[in-house]
Amino acid sequence: MDDLLNLDDQLTDEQRMVRDAVRGFVSRQVLPRVGDWFEEGVFPARELAPALGSLGVLGMHLDGYGCAGLDAISYGVACRELEAGDSGLRSFVSVQGSLAMFPIWKYGSDEQKEEWLPAMAAGDAIGCFGLTEPDHGSDPAGMRTTAKQDPSGDWTLNGAKMWITNGSIADVAVVWAQTDSGIRGFVVPTSTPGFSAPEIHRKMSLRASVTSSLYFDDVRLPASAVLPGVTGLKGPLSCLSEARFGILWGVVGAARACLEAAVEYATTRVQFGKPIGAFQLTQEKLAWMAVSLGQAGLTALHLGRLKDAGTLQPRQVSFGKLANVRAALDIARQARSVLGANGVTLEYPVIRHMNNLESVLTYEGTQEIHTLVLGEALTGLPAYR
């Protein structure tokens, strides 16, 4: 399909190589099978993680400890190509790299980094991130999970987390909990007694992704389990800002896959003696989808440049997440209508992307919260307090 704006001409040779490597991986290893994973509600993480690790995707934007150390735009391009496969695949990579590895890399002790980062970069160890709770989603400050330190220095963790990607398959969980000194992060091996992570079933979205609850029932942790480098909500929020950056690129990939499917279908499906793509109603849909896709791609590229320059602000990430996920969901819905009845089957990628994007709209900061972030940025008046 013609990229009307030739946006990828703006990429460096190296970024294009990253794109081609991930695109090749997705087209060979993921696209032929992802429809079945979605239907069966499975994600073969133990098979894919080492492959993603040897490609270098896991923690690719981090330095050292076996990570590739690529720039932000390369990370974005990789997320875009992964999500052109499936949002579940990109979610796996986002959670591993930005939510589990990033806090250990940024706030962890040398021992925590040595223990976990090389294995996680290789895909031998899988991580998850526990912030959201059953009763605290958009308002994490009210979390009820607690960690209490006894005189020996050991910690005891109690509480529950919900909607945790990779939870049931993780080897390590980065868990945020209230302590006497504020919110702290803990590196919790999932083999620790008292830790359990049942999978959440009956989802109609992100079916090729593992989503779980986490329960902590007197989980005893050594003093060394706490992330020494951060106290307060800014810890988890900085991780989410990293992951949202991946999302605002990723959804461009999902949207592109939908538009490609719609163009292919519109030019081959014949009704009334001509391809339906020759009808003005269809062309209008395709044209606006392409305009939205181009705008989303431009937004991602611009924010990538800001991130590489070190000036990207959280409200700009909110702008990108808000604008690009909405654009992607609109494109997916339009594509679905172009494909008619075929659009609702897993023979085509469109309904899968469309359903996935409903989760992406909500997770990592809902549309509503990101809207309020921009509202506050414009007026100086915080509406959620």
Partner 1 sequence: MNIVVCVKQVPDTATERKLRSDDKTLDRDAADGVINELCEYAVEEALKIKEAHGGEVTVLTMGPSKATDTIRKALAMGADKAVHLVDDALHGSDALSTSYALAQTLKKIGFDLVILGSESTDARTGVLAAMLAERLGTPQLTLARKVDIDGSAVTIERVTDYGYDKVEASLPAVVSVVEKINEPRYPSFKGIMAAKKKPVETLGIADAEIAADQVGLASAWSEVVEFAAAPPRAAGTVVKDEGDGGAKAAEFLASKKFI
- CB closer to partner 1 out of 54 and 283: 54
C-alpha 201: how far from chain center: 19
Q: How far apart are CA 114 and CA 112, in angstroms?
A: 6
Min separation Cβ 118 and partner 1, Å: 12
Tokens 């959620």, located at residue: 384
Q: How many Cα neighbours within 13 Å face the side chain of 233?
A: 7
Q: Which residue is associated with the tokens 């307090």?
A: 385
Q: Note if 14 is an active site residue.
A: no
Closest contact distance (angstroms) between CB of 69 and partner 1 is 6
338: helix, strand or coil: helix
Closest CB to partner 1 among residues 68, 187: 68
State how far the Cα of 53 lies from the Cα of 104, in Å rounded to an integer: 17
Binding-site ranges for partner 1 (CB under 8 A): 13-14, 17-18, 21, 24-25, 54-57, 60, 68-70, 74, 78
- 304-309: long-range contacts (C-beta < 8 A, 24 or more apart)? 304/72, 304/73, 304/76, 304/245, 304/249, 305/73, 307/72, 307/73, 307/245, 308/71, 308/72, 308/73
Angstrom distance (rounded) from CA 96 to CA 51:
14
Closer by beta carbon to partner 1, 21 or else 291: 21
- Reduced to 3 states (helix: H, G, I; strand: E, B; else coil), residue 359 is helix
Catalytic residue chosen out of the listed positions 40, 260, 364, 376: 364
21 or 377, CB closer to partner 1?
Answer: 21
- Residue 102: name the closest of 80, 135, 72, 82 by CA: 72
| Token code pair at residue 334 | 């339009």
The residue among 70 and 289 lying less far from partner 1, judged by its C-beta, is 70
User: Looking at beta carbons only, is 27 or 345 nearer to partner 1?
Assistant: 27
Task: Name residue, tokens 């329960």.
Answer: 215
Q: Which two tokens stand for residue 129?
A: 């991130």
Question: Would you please indicate which residues are annotated as catalytic (active-site) residues?
Answer: 364
